[in-house]
Structures are given as structure tokens and as C-alpha cells.
């Protein structure tokens, strides 16, 4: 196994060699290049990045070799992340597959499922999506109603999913469905691995206010799955889903200390350029943002260190996620304050200027994706602060329900 120093040198040399030619460089303020390419170009760019990483022995660093990884330690992955943070590697498309689905397949899959699915998933040749949320089941995921009914030696799936990021690019999806029709809430659900090209699946794009359509509605109409499509035990889908959700919050919470807004340094430069930096109220807000960025980075580090010590992700992931969301939203609000109308209207030829408006349109969604702010606060209150649980509201079909 390479020493930390040797490995760091290898990563640095890889990034220095490919960064400029591949367009992975950030600008002098740490901003990534504009992300406005058509979907096919984004996918091709992401796949090329991953394939260059694998060629250099830097793909799936801490994953076991038998599943296509490099077999190195989590420590090596952290070193890679530290070095890559200075660049803008276009790997967002793989966050759901590699960050959430792959750990779930590893934890709950059969050996056959792992060897079949993990290598192409980690290499990005097969993109995955997460089919959990439904119109009536978001925060309250135990309300999932999409049905998987036994059908001969397999299953027949009918129902609707919504907000499915990247379903239009996905070869496979991880589907949470109700497999026991008489069950309610957390019991009677099963997780399935779904080939997204099967008959009976319709994917309809949902256009977001930023203008892009990166998530979808997915309709299942008597879609037939084989018996071995179940991931984890039949009826234990909730347990399997928790693994995905924990990894989701860790992925989001540790991804970028400046969140998805502009870093405080960019806002400070913009305030200076516009003669606003001497306003004490402005200096105070920028200082507060710097402090929050630092806290978010430290929370992310704490989660990473727990993972390095072999501790499974817990509520710390929710804390890091909530903190990152707050930083992003404060950065967006401050940008609006500093730039005024230029944060929402810009010269069409100036693609960098568009990034201000993109931030305004995309940060509100951070309070919702991967668990809402309110749900994160509930989790922290109950699991970290030890406060009493929320009063349970009876479902409509339970005594006291439908009040
Ligand atoms: C950008 C983006 C990408 C997404 N990608 C995916 C994806 O790939 N796959 C997927 O399955 N889903 C995805 N989602 C869906 C996301 O997980 C859900 O939107 C989220 O869980 C909230 O569910 P909901 O929209 O049904 O809102 P609801 O659960 O209906 O919540 C509505 C409001 O009520 C509040 N609320 C609900 N329950 C409580 C409570 N107990 N206490 C206090 N307040 C409460 C919420 O905080 C929220 O403000 C994505 C969402 C976004 C925004």
C-alpha cells in the first residue's frame, strides 16, 4: 500500500497533468467552471473524468479490488478528496450511485449482486438513481405506497415515484416498494434493484426553476422484476433504506464546506469591487459566513474521521448536511444583497455571471433534498440532544387517525 506522502504526490501530479486540459480548474476565487452543458455532454465529461481516474489507479480508491476498486484505505480516499477539493472534477452525476447506492449494495446485496453491479457502478458505465420519494411519501418515507406484488417467480411493480434525480441517465435504480399489501408504515417494504430499461417504466422530466430538468417523475405500470431483484431481505426494505439515507446525508454533508453558494472569499471580493466592504454590517455578515464555512468544514471532517475509524454514519451526517445548507442559503442571500438585480439578471453572453442566478435558483432545494431542514432538526433533537420524540400522528386507518 503506498505511503500517504507518495499517494498525495501521485494525486497532485494527476490533477496538475489533467486539470487544465480537461477544464477542471477553478477560477482565482475557487469557483467551478459554468455547468450549463447539455445533458449528454455532462454525462460524457463525467465518464471521461472517471475513466482517467481509473487509468491512473485513482478510481474507487477505498473499495475492495474484487468489486473493481483499488483496495486502498479510507485514509487514501481522504487524501484524494483533500487534493481534489482545489479542482472541479465533474463527478456530480455519480453522487447518488457511488455515494449512496453502492454502499447499500455492499451492505445488503448478495455476493452475486455485488460482483454484477458494483464494478460498472463504481466505474460510472452504469449510472444509478434512487427511487424512494412519492407524491405522498417524502419526509414520511414510511408512507411509501408503490406496490410490488408477488407474480409467479418474480414481482409486479405498480405506482409512482417523484423527484428522481438522474433517472433519465440511469441504467439501474434502487426502488423502495411495499411488498406486503396488508402492511403499513415501516413493515412490509422491500428494496429492489430495477433495470430502468424494463417495459412498464415511464420517465417524465420535471423542469426546475433554474431551467434544467435534472429530476423526474417515474411511473411503474405492472413492471415485472425477477425474484433476485430484491436487495436485502424481503420485508426488510426499511432497514436497507436507512443505509442509503445515512450515506446520502454524509455524501451531501461532506461534499463542499462552502456548500453550493459562492464561497465567502468571492463575496468579499465582489463587495470590495462595489465599494461595500467598508460597511460594518456587510463585514459582519461576511465574517459570520466565513465562521460558518469553517464550522461546516470541521463537521465534515468529524464525519470523515468517524468513517476512517470504522464507525457507521449516524446523526452527525444530518448535522453536517444542515450546516452546509445554511451556509449555502446565507451565501445566496448575501450575494443578492451585494449584487442586487445582477444576481438574477445578466448578459446572456457572460456565462460566469449566470452562476449568481443559478445559485439563487438552486439553493432553496438544498433545504429539501436528502431530508428537509425540519427533519434534520428533529433527528438532531432526538438523537443527539436526547429530547422527547415528536408526538405521533395516527395514520388515517388507525384509531384516532383522520382527525
Ligand atoms: C434537488 C432534489 C433532489 C431530489 N432527489 C431525489 C431522488 O433522487 N430520489 C428521491 O427519492 N427523492 C429525491 N428528492 C426528494 C426529497 O427526498 C423529498 O423532497 C424530501 O424528502 C421532502 O419530501 P416532500 O417533498 O414530500 O415534502 P414533505 O415531506 O411533504 O414536507 C413538506 C414540509 O413539511 C415539513 N415536515 C414534514 N414532516 C415534518 C415533521 N415531522 N416535522 C416538522 N416538519 C415536517 C417539511 O420539512 C417540509 O417543509 C429530491 C428533492 C430535491 C429538492
Q: Which ligand 1 atom is at minimum distance from the Cα of 129?
A: 8
User: pLDDT category, 177, cuts 50, 70, 90?
Assistant: very high
User: What integer pLDDT is reported at residue 396 of this predicted model?
Assistant: 47
> Please, what is the Cα angle at 140 between 139 and 143, to 5 degrees?
140
Calculate the CA dihedral of residues 49, 50, 56, 60 and round it to 10 degrees: 150
DSSP class of residue 169 equals G
Query: Ligand 1 center to residue 371 CA distance, Å?
Result: 6
H helix or E strand, kind and range, residue 27 = none
Give nearest CA residue, ligand 1 atom 3.
369
Q: Which ligand 1 atom is at minimum distance from the Cα of 378?
A: 42
Closest CA to 323 of 295, 304, 301, 286: 295
Residue 397 confidence (pLDDT) above 90 = no
Number of Cβ within 10 Å of residue 178's Cβ equals: 22
Establish whether this prediction's ipTM goes over 0.85: yes
Q: Which of 95, 163, 249, 361 to mutate to test the pocket of ligand 1 (most atoms within 8 A of CB)?
A: 163
What is the set of domains in the chain, with CATH numbers? 4-90 (no CATH), 128-240 (2.40.110.10), 254-383 (1.20.140.10)
Give residue for cell 463504481. Answer: 122
Give mean pLDDT, residues 24-48: 88
Q: What gap in Å lies between CA 182 and CA 148, rounded to an integer?
A: 12
Give residue for cell 420535471. Answer: 206
User: What integer pLDDT is reported at residue 17 of this predicted model?
Assistant: 97
Residue-averaged pLDDT of the chain: 91
User: What integer pLDDT is reported at residue 380 of this predicted model?
Assistant: 94
Residue 352 confidence (pLDDT) above 90 = no
Give nearest CA residue, ligand 1 atom 44.
374
Give nearest CA residue, ligand 1 atom 12.
133
Kindly report the backbone phi and psi dihedral angles of residue 219, in degrees, each rounded to the nearest multiple of 5, phi listed first: -110, 135
User: What integer pLDDT is reported at residue 210 of this predicted model?
Assistant: 80
Question: 374 CB less than 6 Å from ligand 1?
Answer: yes
User: pLDDT category, 300, cuts 50, 70, 90?
Assistant: confident
Residue 400 confidence (pLDDT) above 50 = no
Which carries the bigger pLDDT value, residue 6 or residue 318? 6
Q: Which residues pair with 49 in a beta bridge?
A: none
CA pseudo-torsion sign 363, 364, 365, 369: positive
Q: What SS3 state is found at 256?
A: coil
Catalytic residues: 248
pLDDT in tens, 207-229: 988 888 999 999 999 999 999 99
158, 201 in Cβ contact below 8 A?
Answer: no
* Range name among 215-219, 232-236, 339-343, 355-359 with the lowest pLDDT average: 355-359
Closest CA to 331 of 354, 362, 300: 362
Question: 138 CB less than 6 Å from ligand 1?
Answer: yes
Closest CA to 380 of 318, 327, 326: 318
* Range name among 3-12, 120-129, 189-198, 252-261 with the lowest pLDDT average: 252-261
User: What integer pLDDT is reported at residue 401 of this predicted model?
Assistant: 35
Residue 80 confidence (pLDDT) above 70 = yes
Q: What gap in Å lies between CA 10 and CA 17, rounded to an integer?
A: 11
Give mean pLDDT, residues 20-48: 89
Residue 338 confidence (pLDDT) above 90 = yes
Q: Which of 104, 170, 372, 381 to mutate to test the pocket of ligand 1 (most atoms within 8 A of CB)?
A: 372
Residue 394 confidence (pLDDT) above 60 = no
Residue 402 confidence (pLDDT) above 50 = no
Calculate the CA dihedral of residues 125, 189, 202, 50 and round it to 10 degrees: -10
The string of DSSP codes covering 271-330 is HHHTT-TT-HHHHHHHHHHHHHHHHHHHHHHHHHHHHHTTPPP-THHHHHHHHHHHHHHH
Residue 399 confidence (pLDDT) above 50 = no
Helix ranges restricted to H, 69-155: 74-84, 102-108, 111-123
Q: What percent of the chain stands above pLDDT 70?
A: 94
402 Rama sector, left if φ>0, alpha if ψ -120 to 50, beta otherwise: left
Query: Ligand 1 center to residue 133 CA distance, Å?
Result: 8
Query: Ligand 1 center to residue 217 CA distance, Å?
Result: 14
Number of Cβ within 10 Å of residue 118's Cβ equals: 24
Closest CA to 54 of 124, 126, 129, 128: 124
Query: Ligand 1 center to residue 396 CA distance, Å?
Result: 20
Amino acid at each position: 500500500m503506498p505511503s500517504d506522502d507518495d499517494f498525495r504526490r501521485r494525486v497532485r501530479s494527476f490533477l496538475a497533468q489533467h486539470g487544465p486540459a480537461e477544464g477542471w480548474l477553478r477560477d482565482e476565487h475557487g469557483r467551478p467552471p459554468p455547468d450549463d452543458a447539455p445533458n449528454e455532454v455532462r454525462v460524457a465529461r463525467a465518464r471521461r473524468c472517471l475513466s482517467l481516474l481509473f487509468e491512473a489507479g485513482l478510481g474507487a480508491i477505498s473499495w475492495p479490488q474484487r468489486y473493481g476498486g483499488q483496495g486502498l484505505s479510507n485514509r487514501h480516499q481522504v487524501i484524494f478528496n483533500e487534493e481534489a477539493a482545489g479542482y472541479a472534477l465533474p463527478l456530480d452525476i455519480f453522487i447518488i450511485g457511488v455515494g449512496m447506492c453502492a454502499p447499500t449494495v455492499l451492505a445488503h446485496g448478495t455476493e452475486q449482486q455485488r460482483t454484477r453491479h458494483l464494478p460498472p457502478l463504481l466505474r460510472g458505465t452504469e449510472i444509478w438513481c434512487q427511487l424512494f420519494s412519492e407524491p405522498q411519501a417524502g419526509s414520511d418515507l414510511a408512507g411509501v405506497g408503490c406496490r410490488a406484488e408477488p407474480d409467479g417467480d418474480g414481482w409486479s411493480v405498480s405506482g409512482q415515484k417523484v423527484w428522481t434525480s438522474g433517472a433519465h441517465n440511469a441504467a439501474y435504480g434502487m426502488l423502495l416498494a411495499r411488498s406486503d399489501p396488508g402492511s403499513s408504515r415501516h413493515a412490509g417494504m422491500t428494496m429492489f434493484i430495477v433495470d430502468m430499461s424494463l417495459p412498464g417504466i415511464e420517465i417524465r422530466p420535471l423542469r426546475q426553476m433554474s431551467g434544467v430538468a435534472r429530476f423526474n417523475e417515474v411511473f411503474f405500470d405492472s413492471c415485472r422484476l425477477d425474484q433476485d431483484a430484491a436487495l436485502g431481505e424481503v420485508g426488510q426494505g426499511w432497514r436497507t433504506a436507512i443505509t442509503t439515507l445515512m450515506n446520502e446525508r454524509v455524501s451531501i454533508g461532506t461534499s463542499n464546506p462552502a456548500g453550493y453558494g459562492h464561497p465567502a472569499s468571492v463575496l468579499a471580493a465582489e463587495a470590495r469591487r462595489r465599494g461595500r466592504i467598508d460597511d460594518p454590517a456587510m463585514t459582519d455578515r461576511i465574517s459570520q459566513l466565513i465562521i460558518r464555512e469553517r464550522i461546516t468544514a470541521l463537521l465534515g471532517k468529524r464525519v470523515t474521521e468517524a468513517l476512517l475509524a470504522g464507525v457507521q454514519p449516524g446523526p452527525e451526517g444530518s448535522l453536517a448536511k444542515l450546516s452546509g445548507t445554511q451556509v449555502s442559503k446565507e451565501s445566496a442571500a448575501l450575494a443578492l444583497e451585494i449584487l442586487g438585480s445582477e444576481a438574477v439578471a445578466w448578459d446572456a453572453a457572460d456565462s460566469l455571471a449566470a452562476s449568481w442566478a443559478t445559485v439563487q435558483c438552486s439553493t432553496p432545494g438544498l433545504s429539501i433534498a436528502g431530508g428537509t431542514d425540519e427533519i434534520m432538526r428533529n433527528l438532531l433533537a432526538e438523537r443527539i440532544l436526547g429530547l422527547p420524540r415528536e408526538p405521533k400522528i395516527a395514520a388515517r386507518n388507525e384509531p384516532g387517525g383522520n382527525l
